[in-house]
Structure 1
Amino acid sequence: MSSVTAPSLASAARSPRAGGRAWAALAVLMLPTLLVSVDNTVLSFALPSISEALKPSATGMLWIVDIYPLVLAGLLVAMGSLGDRIGRRRLLLIGATGFAAVSAVAAFAPTAELLIGARAALGVFGAMLMPSTLSLLRSVFADREQRRLAIAIWAAGFAAGSALGPIVGGLLLEHFWWGSVFLLAVPVLIPLLVLAPLLVRESRDPSPGPVDALGIVLSLLTMAPIVYGIKSLAVDGFSALAVIAIAIGVASGALFVRRQLHRPVPMLDMRLFTRPAFSGAIVVNLLSVVSLVGFLFFVSQHLQLVIGLTPLQSGLVLLPGLVTMIIAGLVVVPVARRIRPGVVIAAGLTLSAAGYVLIALTGGDAPWSILLAAFVLLGAGIGAAETVSNELVISTAPAAKAGAASAVSETAYELGAVLGTATLGTLITVSYRAALVVPSGLSASQADAAGETLGGAVSVARGLPAPLADELLRSARAAFDSGVGVTAVIGVALVATAAVVALVTLRRVRS
């Protein structure tokens, strides 16, 4: 009996259980998480309005979506390391202040180019928010069981924001202009700025290394050119510029890894990736987010521009899937105590694959009820997988490097968001361009606008006579849905690959 009790007492001494203040701190730390997830979902639903108001090109539309996660992903590791150095709470407060201010600027952007610039600035300050919230949970909740529950609630908050986004965004878009969705940041971040200094203790690396300016530059030169090259290949086909951009990114990544391996105190300890639980969890995050964001890119436009639902109605269609994502993230906590993480993640992602299979079987003209059911399956699987994988990232990294480790997890998420749009979203755009048949009777400028995006076609149709408008809309909607089958197959492949990765890399990790 003593052989069991002694280790238990020692473990309890090493990991004191958190009290009420810690759970209040969790509620505060969920505010920026809610904001980022609301922002991502709201933007998807605002795309048709932005397309009609600012009239961006197809590439411009993709950059409006992509520039924020691209900049954010490029800076996450650097900001995570900076938080370890100057204090994670301090960095969180700086990021919150800047994010709120720039959100107000984005709300009133008069052109697509200025909106892209504002979104890029939001990426800089967003990079300060996300790793700080997740890494602070490591210091607030020392007990692993409490930490697993806290991360589940944190992840549920992310899903809750996604659920809240379509409802709040739908109401805003029905009564105000598209820029109102960016103003949501202000009322969310003000309570954070007031309460975080009172409830959240400062946390930092006690022995930080020197600032690695070259490492920061290399991390940016790794992310930006690779994503640009992928987008360019997908939209414009093969080009020397795209290949050169990808080569620059790969070379910069190799130099970054080499530099970190040879520094006495690296910005990012690359040896973390030799731990199967850490690297496997990162890959699961990446692939599952690619599939999720690609789905949302398609379905938000299909519901509004093809089926004809309002933004609010579209949000209500997705609400059951987002609620399922929250419930799955919480229910998986007691399950993860008894079943190996790899098995839990693989089982969840199998549900997600079933959602994509449902889309593939019904084709692009799926009614809203099929999309609702598919998203329930997708959300259940990803909700469970993300909770377990995020907890593994935090628990397997040294406590002093929690910021950098959290940044890697967030980088995988944001890179997945970029790739989800750049691959699955671009595939639908390319298919739309190839399949669209522009009816005769349109001017050259009208034909060009209709040929760029589905939103452009809808905008052009509003100024046409009824018979010609109907003909254009039928052609545009059929063209948009023409790539859905291939996209769904790719989505199945992504989540199936993530499930296999989980089974292989986490096979020795116990519950």
Structure 2
Amino acid sequence: MDDRGAVRAVDQCGAGGSGRPPGHLGHRHGDRANLARRDRSRGVTLVSQLYSPVRRWTALGVLALATLLVMIEITALALAMPYIAADLRPEATAELWIGDAYAFMMAGTLVTMGTLADRVGRKKLLLLGATCFGLLSFAAAFAPTAGVLIAVRALMGLAAATLMPPTLSLIRNIFTDPRERVVAMGVWAAMISAGMGIGPLASGVLLEHFWWGSVFLIKVPVIVPLVIVGALVIPESRNPAPGPWDLPSVALSIVGIVGVVYAMKQIASYGVGQPVEWAAAVGGIGVLMLFARRQRRLCTPLIDIALFAKPRFSGAVLANVLTAIGITGVVYFIAQYLQMVQGATPLSAGLQQLPMAVCALLASLLAGRIATHTSARAVVSGAVGLVGLGLAGLAALSAGMPYVVLAVLLGLLGIGMGLASAVTTDVIVTSVRKEEAGAASAISETGFELGAALGIAIFGTILTATYRGTLTVPVGLHPDTGRDSLGNALAEAANLPAGVGEQLTSAARDAYISGLQLAHAVSAVLLFGCAAACWFMLRDRVSERRSYPRR
């Protein structure tokens, strides 16, 4: 949230939380709102006058690098998972938690950290979070057990949550010229797209020469100059009248999300017959309902639920979440497919995913120009449809799929992600009143991170359940041999006689591919449905056809 949150608080809660527009407020409250607007205007003018173009764009570089590191962390672990599984030997459920403890903790605390940044200062929280992120990356590199790694990854997610909200809020405060701001937001969106693709490539290079801990350790020398330069060039900003910080809402959001995710993972591992899983699912959903109800009653909520009454806003957020679900699930599990099914080295697997990163980066930079000649409605619907088309193609994945076909499908996913991430961010911010922009951007960021976490959880749940249900263990072996995960099956097959080991390896790979096919098919259906919904929800307005700068 930015300084405009103060105005929103006055407008909505100044008259007893009625949520009435400023024209309905009494004289006293109208004066307060006007005063807040004048204060905000003076702050914007100061930023414009005091910070040179060199300092503004250098600050953008620091903020873009912080965003890139956060996004790389989501996908960088994918190629390292086979090595972590061989070294730490986690169970299937623990293996999934290693993958998405980071994303879920970040998603669960993103809005909380955004409101905290409004109070303590966005620059201060950004630099503190970056420092903690570096220290935790060092700790993760030397984690002795799967449990320790899960705990450290969760704390890294908490640190990452302190990085994302300030980046977009600071961009809006630093770049006061509308054309400069759209370019800066395009760069920010490009870092999200690029980070999703660069993660596997960087991991592949490292794993060719070092142990799996290097995937974490490499971030430390990058964060040191980020903190030093950021301290020098980024201006401090905060909300002068942020309102109370609602701790019960913080607790409800985290407990609700973790409860639902825990239930999903346990059902995937142990089936639907366990009462604990259903209790966690029902409890998590119930807590999230309480959270939503509480947000409606608060003057300064963590998430402004009322914004979802705007169809364009809801459509853009829906596109944001479902695109992240599809892309993250593919990036995370396709890396394991390339290594454990097709036998690629980590570097080769990373290079094979490069078409997604390149196409995403180019598409995000061209998104503004495309939207100028068409409309945000057409771009978002088409982008989500492209992601669905790529997922539908991956539903036909096989052990011998030619790389040319795979590259084309990954390219489609990258184009869709790049277009969607750039345009939905702008639609979300511009579909609400100016004083609601801070709350809208916080929901946008949370939606993407939650979608990224859900992508791993949903894909992992479908994949694990299908793998265990379809694996045919060779005669003479225990029925549960290799049934925990593909990584464990390959490890056990290496210790069996040649003929039996080959049978187990082949059966495990076939079961894994079956799980991937089903996960991709389900995701494709969701994305096609989302594309149709966006076409109707993102109807053109006269004010929508704004002039995007040509990049």
Same fold (TM over 0.5): yes
State the match for 2:20 in structure 1: none
Residue 403 of structure 1 deviates from its aligned partner by: 5.3
For these two proteins, the number of residue pairs brought into alignment is 497
Shift of 1:240: 2.6
CA 1:267–1:421 in 2, change beyond 3 Å: closer, same or farther? closer
Partner residue of 1:326? 361
Q: 1 CA distance for matches of 2:447 and 2:163?
A: 15
- In structure 2, what is the equivalent of residue 35 of structure 1? 69
Tell me if 1:503 matches 2:538: no
- 353-362 or 54-63, which deviates more: 353-362
Give, in angstroms, the shift of residue 116 of structure 1: 0.6
Q: SS of the counterpart of 2:474?
A: coil
Unpaired segments ≥5 residues, structure 1: 1-12
Query: Do the aligned residues in 1 keep the contact of 2:267 with 2:277 (CA within 8 Å)?
Result: yes
Q: Which moved more, 1:447-456 or 1:187-196?
A: 447-456
Distance 1:404 1:97, change over 3 A: farther
C-alpha contact 1:222 1:253 (8 A) present in aligned 2: yes
| CA drift at 1:405 | 3.4
1:400 is displaced (CA, Å) by 6.3
Residue-by-residue CA offset, 1:168-191 (whole Å, 9 max, x unaligned): 211211211111101122122112
Within the alignment, does 1:207 sit opposite 2:231 as a pair?
A: no
How does 1:2-401 map onto structure 2 within 5 Å? Answer: 19-238=53-272, 239-361=274-396, 363=398, 365-396=400-431
Equivalent pair of 1:131/1:404 in contact (CA under 8 Å): no
Which amino acid in the other structure matches residue 134 of structure 2?
A: A
The runs of 5 or more residues in structure 2 that have no matched partner are: 1-43, 546-551
**Residue aligned with 1:452, SS:** coil
Q: 1-side partners of 2:404 and 2:84: how far apart?
A: 26
The Cα shift of 1:399 comes to 6.0
Q: Which region of structure 1 is more displaced relative to structure 2, 49-58 or 256-265?
A: 256-265
Aligned residues of 1:364 and 1:483 also touching (Cα < 8 A): no
Structure 1 stretch 108-117 or stretch 288-297: which is displaced more?
288-297
Query: Take 1:363 and 1:468, find their aligned partners in 2: how far apart are those partners?
Result: 22
Q: Deviations over 1:11-61 (max 9, x none)?
A: xx9997983322211111011211122222210111111111111111111
Which letter does structure 2 place at the counterpart of 1:180? S
Aligned CA RMSD, in angstroms, stands at 2.3
2-side partners of 1:475 and 1:413: how far apart?
Answer: 36
Q: By how many angstroms is 1:396 displaced? A: 4.2
1:301-343: CA deviations, max 9, x gaps?
Answer: 1100000000100111110121001000011111222322111
Counterpart AA for 1:351: L
Tell me the alpha carbon deviations over residues 120-169 of structure 1, each in whole angstroms, 9 at most, x when there is no partner: 11111111111111221111222333222212211212222333322221
Query: How far, CA to CA, are the matches of 1:430 and 1:147 in structure 2?
Result: 46
Change (3 A) 1:473 1:361: closer
- Residue identity matched to 1:93: L
Pairing 1:405-424 to 2, within 5 Å after superposition: 405-424=440-459
Q: Which amino acid aligns with 1:296?
A: V
Aligned partners of 1:234 and 1:422 also within 8 Å: no
**1: CA distance between counterparts of 2:173 and 2:431?**
14
> Which residue matches 1:435?
470
Q: Which moved more, 1:410-419 or 1:359-368?
A: 359-368
| Structure with more of its chain in helix, by fraction | 1
Q: Which residue pairs with 2:5 in the alignment?
A: none
Letter aligned with residue 199 of structure 1:
V
Offset, 1:404: 4.3
- Note the C-alpha offset of 1:424: 1.9
Structure 2 Cα separation of the partners of residues 262 and 54 of structure 1? 47
Q: Taking structure 1 as reference, are residues 452 and 368 closer, same or farther at Cα in structure 2, changes over 3 Å only?
A: farther
Given that residues 205 and 400 in structure 1 are in contact (C-alpha distance below 8 angstroms), is that contact kept between their aligned partners in structure 2?
Answer: no
- 8 Å Cα contact 1:280/1:501 also seen in 2: yes
C-alpha deviation, 1:362, in angstroms:
5.1
Contact 2:175–2:181, Cα closer than 8 Å, also in 1: yes
User: What CA distance in whole angstroms lies between the structure 1 residues aligned with 2:237 and 2:433?
Assistant: 14
Q: Distance in 1 between matches of 2:149 and 2:312?
A: 39
- CA shift in 2, pair 1:450/1:234, >3 Å: closer
- What per-residue deviation string (whole Å, max 9, x for no partner) do you get for residues 195-236 of structure 1? 112221112222111121111111112211122222233332
The 1:168–1:431 alpha-carbon spacing in structure 2 relative to 1, beyond 3 Å, is same
Tell me if 1:467 matches 2:499: yes
Cα distance change of structure 1 residues 360 and 403 upon mapping to structure 2, 3 Å threshold:
same
Mapped to 2, the partners of 1:423 and 1:262 lie a distance apart of 32
Q: CA deviation at 1:448?
A: 4.6
Asked if structure 1 preserves the Cα contact closer than 8 Å seen for 2:133 and 2:160, the reply is: yes
Deviation string, structure 1 residues 364-392 (Cα, Å, up to 9, x no partner):
64233322211101111111011101122
Distance 2:300 2:506 in 1: 60
Distance 2:514 2:48 in 1: 56
Q: Does the CA-based 8 Å contact 1:32-1:188 persist in structure 2?
A: no
What TM-score, normalized to structure 2?
0.85
Q: C-alpha distance in 1, partners of 2:200/2:206?
A: 10
1:458 aligns with 2:490: yes
Within 2, Cα distance between the matches of 1:82 and 1:397?
22
3-state SS in 2 of match to 1:450:
coil
> Which residue of the partner structure matches residue 7 of structure 1?
none
1:221-264 per-position Cα deviation (integer Å, ceiling 9, x unaligned)? 22111222222333323233222222222222222223222223
Structure 2 counterpart SS, 1:482:
helix
Matched with 1:9 is: none
Q: C-alpha separation between the residues in 1 aligned to 2:370 and 2:277?
A: 45
Q: Which amino acid aligns with 1:27?
A: G
- Kept in 1, the 8 Å contact 2:64–2:188? The answer is yes
CA contact (8 A) 1:204 1:400 kept: no
Distance verdict in 2 for CA 1:460–1:258, change over 3 Å: same
- The 8 Å contact of residues 207 and 214 in structure 2, kept in 1 or not, is answered as yes
Distance in 2 separating the partners of 1:372 and 1:259: 46
CA positional deviation for 1:272: 2.2
Q: For residues 399 and 191 of structure 1, do their structure 2 counterparts lie closer, same or farther at Cα, with a shift above 3 Å needed?
A: farther
Residue in structure 2 matched with residue 485 of structure 1 by the alignment: 517
